[in-house]
Amino acid sequence: MSSETMTATQAEQFRQDPAVRAAIDTIVDRAAAHSAKITDVRAGNPDLKVSYDELMERAAAVKGRGLLYPTLSGGLGNGALVEMADGSVKWDMITGIGVHFMGHSHPAVVRAQAEAALDDTTKHGNLQSSFAAYEFGEKLLKLAQRNSRLKHAFMTTSGAMANESALKACYQKHAPASRVLAFKHCFMGRSVTMCQIGDSAGGRQGIPLTTQVDYMPFWNEQAVEEVGGATRFIDHSVWRLQQYIDRYPGMHACFIMELVQGEGGFNVATRDFLRALMEVCKANNIAVWDDEIQSFGRTESMFAYELYDLGEYVDVFCVGKMTQACATLYTEEYNPKPGLLSGTFTGNSSDFTVGSALLDTLADGDWYGSGGVFAQHHAEFRRQVQGLMDRHPDWFPPATFCKELVGGVGGMMKFTPFGGDKAKIGKLCKVAYEEGVILFSCGHGPFHIRMLPPMVAMKMEDWPRVFEIVERSMARVASEG
């Protein structure tokens, strides 16, 4: 072994090598220069059509079924605009279901990926890892601890795995309790256990039901009105929760809560409702497990528990999607025994470098609060939908159990045209895609149009441009019947 004294590791010297620094600056600069040429929606390049169709067919052959959307991205974009592999450019209002929150070709993301490419390996795991994984965990915990008791974090590769780890931590702490409480319309991922808890029959066809779940209603303005007001709705919900607890004494390990529901329809609750249920959980030694895999970062607060000022109640918490790296956070009391949580992978280098860049961006900007940038975007979104409603009232008939036809919070945006009819909402997504806006649906009936835009990259002047295409697409759906 050489006895030569080094002031920095060889790896650090490589990272700081002036030629390497210059190369990364060049990549970031050139990405920006090419990205700047993407300025508007455009149709696909006919010369690329054959090869694009062939790519779609090859992708479908690999998967065993055609892709839901005929989308293959090309690798470059500009903010909320993304270039597809056929050269077409679209407004990306769904961002891989909430993943690309910084938009396309954001310089901080390009740089973080280039930094990650300097690593000797691409994957990190529980046995061998660079510090990048823990640096990401430290940042996340520091932000989480501003308003919660969350103390530790376990990093993993998907939202479903983060939820699996959360469930294991709850089961272990409350063994032998084996039941789970969940909200109606919840979604938690696609593992064997999570698809059983998720309230969607289609997501668990043929899967044996081995997890015992008791469902509670979520907050719904129309239901509140029907039962005679908020207090009655909350009292009834508490009574119902207590009934489950009395029916199965000591058998509930946790109550899994999306504080703003994602797949279930971008449903927002009230503090009093959630707090009342959390109080019952505390009184009965049931873990409060907050799944923010879809809502984290997007509401008018960084954490949805901050939106409702409920951080003190949260025992276990999950995050994923926009954070790139996924994680389960828990309080000291829920820190599991050794051996319960592990796995080969925690993530790629770029999951952690990009995830850290995202957390830095969110922590630094004036995004949050009722006057923050995200709230302003949300207000503009609602203004645009209101414009559609005013111009085309016939596109907005009432929808069952949907008091307002526009809703959500912050960067979780929904509107409900065509009475929330599944076929028409599906058709609108397809037509809008052809016209140049990528949308998606949410809810289980009524169905809504859902937007998860790249909030950090959205400009206020983008909204009329997006909605001009949405309007044209809706006109097509309305006229085609």
Ligand X SMILES: Cc1ncc(COP(=O)(O)O)c(C=O)c1O
List interacting residues with ligand X (CB under 6 A): 97, 158-160, 163, 187-189, 258, 262-263, 291, 293-294, 320
Query: For residues 119 and 164, which CB has a smaller minimum distance to ligand X in the complex?
Result: 164
> Tokens representing 195?
């698809």
Give the span between the Cα atoms of 263 and 116, in whole angstroms.
32
Query: For residues 83 and 263, which CB has a smaller minimum distance to ligand X in the complex?
Result: 263
* Cβ-closest position to ligand X: 159
The edge-to-edge listing of strands for the beta sheet with 406-409 is 406-409, 412-415, 448-451, 440-442
Q: What is the dihedral of CA 349, 354, 357, 361, to 10 degrees?
A: -160
Give 54's contacts (C-beta < 8 A, 6+ positions apart).
Answer: none
CB of 267 to ligand X, least distance (A): 12
CB of 159 to ligand X, least distance (A): 2
> Tokens representing 426?
């599906």
Give the span between the Cα atoms of 153 and 169, in whole angstroms.
12
Give the span between the Cα atoms of 443 and 412, in whole angstroms.
13
Query: For residues 248 and 345, which CB has a smaller minimum distance to ligand X in the complex?
Result: 345
Bridge-based pairing state of the strands 252-257 and 179-183: parallel
Query: For residues 266 and 381, which CB has a smaller minimum distance to ligand X in the complex?
Result: 266
Query: For residues 187 and 463, which CB has a smaller minimum distance to ligand X in the complex?
Result: 187
Amino acid at 356: S
CB of 258 to ligand X, least distance (A): 5
Give the span between the Cα atoms of 254 and 233, in whole angstroms.
22
- φ/ψ region of 29 (left if φ > 0, alpha if ψ in -120 to 50, else beta) reads alpha
CB of 293 to ligand X, least distance (A): 4
Give the span between the Cα atoms of 102 and 356, in whole angstroms.
12
Compute and round to an integer the Cα radius of gyration of the chain: 23
Query: For residues 99 and 227, which CB has a smaller minimum distance to ligand X in the complex?
Result: 99
Please name the residue that has the structure tokens 């040429």: 37
Give 299's DSSP letter.
S
CB of 294 to ligand X, least distance (A): 4
Bridge-based pairing state of the strands 326-330 and 123-124: unpaired
CB of 189 to ligand X, least distance (A): 3
Give the span between the Cα atoms of 381 and 385, in whole angstroms.
6
CB of 97 to ligand X, least distance (A): 6
Give the span between the Cα atoms of 165 and 290, in whole angstroms.
13
Query: For residues 115 and 258, which CB has a smaller minimum distance to ligand X in the complex?
Result: 258
CB of 321 to ligand X, least distance (A): 6
CA angle 476, 480, 481 (to 5 degrees): 120
Query: For residues 188 and 409, which CB has a smaller minimum distance to ligand X in the complex?
Result: 188
CB of 198 to ligand X, least distance (A): 8
Query: For residues 88 and 294, which CB has a smaller minimum distance to ligand X in the complex?
Result: 294
Please name the residue that has the structure tokens 């029907």: 226
> Tokens representing 54?
């062939």
Q: Quick one: which of 149, 117, 461 has its CA closest to 332? A: 149
CB of 176 to ligand X, least distance (A): 26
Give 430's contacts (C-beta < 8 A, 6+ positions apart).
Answer: 69
Give the span between the Cα atoms of 334 and 152, in whole angstroms.
9
Query: For residues 98 and 446, which CB has a smaller minimum distance to ligand X in the complex?
Result: 98
Query: For residues 139 and 450, which CB has a smaller minimum distance to ligand X in the complex?
Result: 450
CB of 298 to ligand X, least distance (A): 11
Query: For residues 190 and 383, which CB has a smaller minimum distance to ligand X in the complex?
Result: 190
Give the span between the Cα atoms of 256 and 221, in whole angstroms.
21
Concatenating the DSSP letter of every residue in 81-121 gives EEEETTS-EEEESSHHHHT-TT-BS-HHHHHHHHHHTTSS-
CB of 190 to ligand X, least distance (A): 6
